[in-house]
Structure 1
């Protein structure tokens, strides 16, 4: 019951913060999510309703589906082409920088080497979602963005293995290098194998029913939703990386979607909408949770923090050294070896809730005072990794003017398109009632109908005053079809003459097709 209430409060915070973000276009939505999370933590009324951070629950219920959906949006062919780059950034860079930085902070701050390695291992995983938030509204090269995304998808496993090795070293007093290397290979390769096999089994099962007369979309959708949870759970039970398993499963499902999208269009459309919805909600959920957690960490450990600033110095040094390692690696091993590209790659190593989840996962394995110290250090690393690139990118990256003007351009196109559709309706011989109803519906495509006019229409329909006869309903449907056809033809002409971006045309064109499906498809109609 506590988990249900806690999730409800966080989801309300997600909905509220995403709405607030629309009114503050100059600030990334991620920071609004963080701020609302902090506010939820500060308010006693809501704070006591949200349970304490549980790394297992977070990994299974939030991170597993999020990584599965992110993997599904990545073509498997892209991963195959970038295997060398992925191994370089997610394994070699992660391990070498962890060892180097651990030794430096061990020497500098007189921390025992296992604790130093724990701190750096937790700081290893990067977060593609957090990176997107700090680069929002700025232009950055797609190859670099792809490198950072591939790194973040696969370096979680490296960080977890390093953390397990360091924790074991701290508790036993010795480090088994060969054993840890073996464990890493088993975990990573096993995760890929288990994830791929299970994903293929789920895919074959669903595809069998998709291509038969016994297909049930509701059952298929449930199986699809449960897939990442099942794969993560089974992979962890088998002793391999659940994170790598769900990412691999997502990659397999990407290829499935490309070659089966027309076998059951309703099911495919529902699946795509679910992916988009889940990605948006889960990403916001992650940062609201991060905001709540950071607020609790700060206030619960306030006395420790003000008694000594060693935690701050360690956090800053860890972040700066990791930044330096990433910069050096990029200068020598990434295709584009320019200083700017290397700097962007270094700053692109943003940390988020995976780092927080790994921090809380060691709470029962080490001394409480050490655990508190590590939590505060990792908080500094997370905040710096988000704050520094946000500031620097505003000076070194150009504004993405196309993205900034996108909403205005789309609205202008919709307005012109609707005028064409209305003119088509006015040229037809229709009854006054049908003409008024169709024009009202067309104007809704640009949200130009006022709230007052909506209430008037709603009241008329509710009182049966605006209900059309059977023949008028057929007439209305045909009028809408002619209007939509005119709108599509207008957009096609603009695209053919290269007068507007094809991306804009495709986006609005797809909206018209969806609107038309609401008119024609019996399963999409409310009445």
Structure 2
């Protein structure tokens, strides 16, 4: 019963924080952390977190969703910069910050220091979006940060795995680590992608045999990241990379356009809720664990008062910022040089651009999820060294990075520019034109067939004219007269059929454009969602005497 109470308290806290976030000008993660502290000091029961369960419950869906929704074309276009930040910067951070932590705090063994540095290397795009709400991040910079967060989640947590293994065994072999890393990476990526294609294939087979059930299709998507994670972990590959790969593969399943619009609308709502609950719960848990961890950490630190703890947190944060600033300067310099060589207008590499990118590397849910997975004991049963102190330092860095970003990042972002990508507006306009052409063609083809099949050809002609209004920008009559008996009902039914044919043609045209890479994922999702919502309205419309949907030009 206590576990149920804790889960309900977490969900209620996320709900309350969402309401407060609209009233209080503070980043949402900070509000959720404060609510967590209040829960810990209140009468509600708290429970010790099992690291393995925590890792399984929270990380797979979050990483899967990041992989699914990130724009793939922009990810590949900025691939070199993303890889430099997600791989090179992570490796440098683990080595540099690990040595810094061990030098400052001798009570933390070197392997544990590397583990702490590994979980401090990933960034959290959700936290970035929260603190940058008052001054939107330039689109290309946001794509770079999203790609970095997607990959450094995986690389940072894989490094954590090696560090924990070294702490448990007391040994570390570079050659063995390299071999293991190759298997973790390739095995995880392969198993993740294969899991998605297998489960979605089974879903498609079930849909063809029994028809589409939106509830079952949504359940398939919810189980996919957990299936990929568990399958990879079972063969000692990286479940983290498997979840990421499963999400990326989901995009290529989705653009086949086989599911119904109503299923996609519901699935999007469900996944938005899952992401909100999972991310919010992690930050509430951070605050809920903070008071107890603080007490244990002060004892482990063997210092008087909290002054040294604050100093350590500030020193680690400063080290992270310094390493990130230097690496970002070099990475963005090559981005701008490459843009200049392509003939694009070159924006100067200013300190504001580098500083904004540095501060945007906010630590968040993944850092907390990773640090809480430190084992409770070593193999001989003794307590894991400096576990609570490491957790507290990670929490302190998360809070400090959030505070810095929330106060300094918005002014830096105002007016900040990067070399422009290809115009999304132009892509959207051309996609709408292509979809409109296919829709009109489909309506005309169906209309000609109905003229030949129906006794009253004027019904098909009039219904076709009404259905064309959506694509010709005309105002359609808003109601079908209740008079006229069977002809009015037949006209309404025919019009609905023609409209649905046009909408399906629109949607398939958009998917075809995405498969040919003529548009990116952002434009595709925006336009497909518009089409899905129009279709959902049409499907809910009873043609027998009810008002017609208002056409959209």
Name the TM-score, length of structure 1 as normaliser: 0.72
Choose the corresponding residue for 1:167, options 164, 168, 180. Answer: 164
Match of 2:39 in 1: 40
CA distance in 2, matches of 1:506, 1:235: 33
3-state DSSP of counterpart to 2:114: helix
Match of 1:15 in 2: 15
> CA offsets, 1:464-500, max 9 Å, x none?
xxxxxxx9xx9xx99xx9xxxxxxxxxxxxxxxxxxx
Choose the corresponding residue for 2:91, options 76, 95, 103. Answer: 95
3-state DSSP of counterpart to 2:395: helix
Q: Find out whether 1:319 has 2:299 as its counterpart.
A: no
Work out whether residues 93 and 118 of structure 2, in 8 Å CA contact, stay in contact via their aligned partners in 1.
no
Work out whether residues 59 and 369 of structure 2, in 8 Å CA contact, stay in contact via their aligned partners in 1.
no
Match of 1:267 in 2: 263
CA distance in 1, matches of 2:158, 2:67: 21
- Aligned pairs for 1:364-383 (under 5 A) are 364-365=377-378, 367=383, 370-383=386-399
Match of 2:428 in 1: none
Q: Find out whether 1:255 has 2:252 as its counterpart.
A: yes
Cα separation, partners in 2 of 1:520 and 1:29, compared to 1, 3 Å: farther
Quote how far apart the aligned CAs of 1:323 are: 1.0
Choose the corresponding residue for 2:64, options 63, 68, 80. Answer: 68
CA distance in 2, matches of 1:112, 1:51: 28
CA distance in 2, matches of 1:377, 1:158: 21
Match of 1:397 in 2: 413
Work out whether residues 157 and 188 of structure 1, in 8 Å CA contact, stay in contact via their aligned partners in 2.
no
Quote how far apart the aligned CAs of 1:361 are: 2.0
> CA offsets, 1:108-146, max 9 Å, x none?
444653343232122122222122222122122122211
Moved more, 330-339 or 111-120: 111-120
Quote how far apart the aligned CAs of 1:43 are: 1.1
Quote how far apart the aligned CAs of 1:383 are: 1.0
Moved more, 343-352 or 216-225: 216-225
Quote how far apart the aligned CAs of 1:245 are: 0.7
CA distance in 1, matches of 2:370, 2:529: 40
3-state DSSP of counterpart to 1:67: helix
Quote how far apart the aligned CAs of 1:324 are: 0.9
Quote how far apart the aligned CAs of 1:201 are: 0.9
Quote how far apart the aligned CAs of 1:248 are: 0.9
Cα separation, partners in 2 of 1:88 and 1:102, compared to 1, 3 Å: same
CA distance in 2, matches of 1:99, 1:62: 27
Work out whether residues 40 and 288 of structure 2, in 8 Å CA contact, stay in contact via their aligned partners in 1.
yes
Question: Aligned-pair RMSD on alpha carbons?
Answer: 3.9
Match of 2:194 in 1: 197
Cα separation, partners in 2 of 1:109 and 1:283, compared to 1, 3 Å: closer
Q: Find out whether 1:329 has 2:327 as its counterpart.
A: yes
Matched residues, number: 438
CA distance in 2, matches of 1:428, 1:520: 11
Match of 2:127 in 1: 130
CA distance in 2, matches of 1:286, 1:392: 24
Quote how far apart the aligned CAs of 1:62 are: 1.9
Cα separation, partners in 2 of 1:429 and 1:18, compared to 1, 3 Å: same
Q: Find out whether 1:339 has 2:320 as its counterpart.
A: no
CA distance in 2, matches of 1:160, 1:326: 18
Match of 1:355 in 2: 367
Q: Which runs of 5+ in 2 are unaligned?
A: 337-348, 417-476, 497-522, 545-553
Cα separation, partners in 2 of 1:22 and 1:209, compared to 1, 3 Å: same
Name the TM-score, length of structure 2 as normaliser: 0.69
Moved more, 227-236 or 330-339: 330-339
Moved more, 237-246 or 96-105: 96-105
3-state DSSP of counterpart to 2:319: helix
> CA offsets, 1:381-416, max 9 Å, x none?
11111111111113322299xxxxxxxxxxxxxxxx
CA distance in 1, matches of 2:221, 2:56: 15
Q: Find out whether 1:31 has 2:30 as its counterpart.
A: yes
Quote how far apart the aligned CAs of 1:359 are: 2.1
Match of 1:520 in 2: 542
Work out whether residues 85 and 147 of structure 1, in 8 Å CA contact, stay in contact via their aligned partners in 2.
yes
